[in-house]
C-alpha cells in the first residue's frame, strides 16, 4: 500500500515561505512526477514527505495513518538521492543490505533479498565492488537496489537521472518505468525535465514557487493546460504564446499554439514571417521564425525534411481548434 495524502502542508525556512498551503493526493501504485523549474520547492516537498524536513504546519498521511510526526525510518518510504548517497566504504552488497541489517533481518533473508535485487538491476557482476569503482549508471542502480530491498510503501526519487549523460538517462528512464510496472509500488519522482515527466508519469504535479499549478495525466496537461505557466512548461519545444491584436481576434489576452499545431507553406497562410535558425532533427525540423508580428521567435514544427533556408519568407496556418486561450491573469478560458 502506498497512499500519501498531504493536507494544508506548509514549509517556511526562516521567514521564506517555500511551500504555501498545499493539498495533494497520491494514490497507491501511481507514478507521480513533481515537475517545475529549479528552486520551486520540489525537493523540499519530497523531503517533507520523506520526513527529512519537518512540516511547518499541515498534515501528512501515509496509508490513512498520520505520519506528520513520524521519523523518516518509520514512514516505510525509500528514497533515491540525486547524489546517490551510497556509502563509499561499503561494497555494493553491503550498501544494498544496509537497510535490511538495520531492520535486524536474518543473514539468510538479507542475502536472498540482496541477490534478488542485484539480479533485477543487473548488478550481480559488481556486487563486491565499492561505489567508487562503478560508473554513474551503475551507482544509480545500486541506489535503486538499496531502495527496493526494503519493499517500501512508496519510492521517492529526487532528480535521480540528472547526473547521467543523455543516452544513459533515456535508458535509466525506461528501466525505472519498467521497475514501476513490475513492482506496482507508488513512486514519487522529482524532476525539472518535462520530458522525463511526460514520458514516465501517470500523474504530473506542476509546481511553481511551491504552488501546485496543475495536477493531471501527461496528456491532460498537454491538451488542456490550466494556465499560461503550465502551457509554457509542458511540451517541447515550448508553446508559442501570442499577445496583442492576434489574441484579441480570438477573444483572449493571450493565445497559445504549439509548434506541432502549425502548418507551414512557402506560398500562403494567415501568418507569415522570416525563417531564422532551423533545427534539423531528421524526423522533424524546427524553425524559429522572426518578424511575424506575433511572438518572437515563433517556433514551428515541420515533419520530415523541409527545405526552407535562413531568410526565406514562410507562411503559417495554425490549427484553430488547438489554439489555447488565456485571460489577463493567464488563466485558461474554457
Ligand X SMILES: Nc1ncnc2c1ncn2[C@@H]1O[C@H](COP(=O)(O)OP(=O)(O)O)[C@@H](O)[C@H]1O
> Residues interacting with Mg ion, by CB under 5 A?
43
- Among 4, 26, 35, 40, contact with ligand X (rule: CB under 6 A): 40
Q: Given the rule CB under 6 A, which of 39-47, 96-104, 238-246, 312-320 is the region that contacts ligand X? A: 39-47
Of 13 and 87, the one with the shorter C-beta distance to ligand X is 13
* Distance (Å, whole) CA 82 – CA 163: 7
- Among 24, 42, 68, 78, contact with ligand X (rule: CB under 6 A): 42
Non-local CB neighbours of 318 within 8 Å, separated by 6+ positions: 257, 261, 262, 263, 270, 271
Q: What is the DSSP secondary structure assignment for residue 333, as one 8-state letter? A: P
* Distance (Å, whole) CA 193 – CA 204: 12
Least gap, CB of 69 to another protein (angstroms): 15
Of 63 and 243, the one with the shorter C-beta distance to another protein is 63
Closest CA to 50 of 15, 17, 85: 85
Per-residue binding letters, 254-273, with ligand X (x by CB under 6 A) = --------------------
Q: 18 contacts which partner out of another protein, Mg ion, ligand X, none, CB within 5 to 8 A by kind? A: ligand X
* Distance (Å, whole) CA 128 – CA 126: 6
Alpha helices in 16-135 (DSSP H): 42-50, 92-102, 107-120
Q: Cell numbers 509554457 correspond to what residue?
A: 232
Q: 40 contacts which partner out of ligand X, Mg ion, another protein, none, CB within 5 to 8 A by kind? A: ligand X
Least gap, CB of 145 to another protein (angstroms): 12
* Nearest-CB residue for ligand X: 43
Amino acid at each position: 500500500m502506498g497512499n500519501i495524502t498531504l493536507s494544508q502542508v506548509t514549509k517556511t525556512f526562516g521567514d521564506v515561505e517555500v511551500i504555501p498551503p498545499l493539498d495533494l493526493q497520491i494514490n497507491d501504485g501511481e507514478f507521480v512526477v513533481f515537475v517545475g523549474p529549479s528552486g520551486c520547492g520540489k525537493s523540499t516537498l519530497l523531503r517533507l514527505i520523506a520526513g527529512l524536513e519537518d512540516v511547518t504546519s499541515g498534515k501528512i498521511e501515509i496509508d490513512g495513518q498520520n505520519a506528520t510526526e513520524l521519523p523518516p525510518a518509520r514512514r516505510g518510504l525509500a528514497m533515491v538521492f540525486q547524489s546517490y548517497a551510497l556509502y563509499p566504504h561499503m561494497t555494493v552488497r553491503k550498501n544494498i543490505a544496509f537497510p535490511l541489517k538495520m531492520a535486524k533481518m536474518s543473514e539468510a533473508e538479507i542475502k536472498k533479498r540482496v541477490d534478488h535485487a542485484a539480479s533485477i538491476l543487473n548488478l550481480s557482476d559488481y556486487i563486491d565492488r565499492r561505489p567508487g569503482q562503478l560508473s554513474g549508471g551503475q551507482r544509480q542502480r545500486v541506489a535503486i537496489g538499496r531502495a527496493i530491498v526494503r519493499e517500501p510503501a512508496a519510492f521517492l526519487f529526487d532528480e535521480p537521472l540528472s547526473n547521467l549523460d543523455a543516452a544513459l538517462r533515456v535508458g535509466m528512464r525506461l528501466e525505472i518505468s519498467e521497475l514501476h510496472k513490475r513492482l506496482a509500488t507508488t513512486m514519487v519522482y522529482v524532476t525539472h525535465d518535462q520530458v522525463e515527466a511526460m514520458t514516465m508519469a501517470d500523474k504530473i504535479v506542476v509546481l511553481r514557487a511551491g504552488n501546485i499549478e496543475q495536477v493531471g495525466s501527461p496528456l491532460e496537461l498537454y491538451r488542456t493546460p490550466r494556465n499560461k505557466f503550465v502551457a509554457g512548461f509542458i511540451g517541447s519545444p515550448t508553446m508559442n504564446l501570442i499577445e496583442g491584436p492576434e489574441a484579441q481576434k480570438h477573444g483572449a489576452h493571450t493565445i497559445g499554439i504549439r509548434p506541432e499545431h502549425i502548418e507551414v507553406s512557402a506560398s500562403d497562410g494567415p501568418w507569415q514571417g522570416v525563417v531564422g535558425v532551423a533545427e534539423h532533427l531528421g524526423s522533424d525540423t524546427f524553425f524559429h521564425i522572426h518578424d511575424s508580428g506575433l511572438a518572437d521567435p515563433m517556433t514551428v514544427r515541420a515533419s520530415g525534411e523541409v527545405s526552407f533556408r535562413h531568410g526565406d519568407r514562410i507562411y503559417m496556418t495554425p490549427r484553430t481548434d488547438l489554439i489555447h486561450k488565456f485571460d489577463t491573469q493567464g488563466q485558461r478560458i474554457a
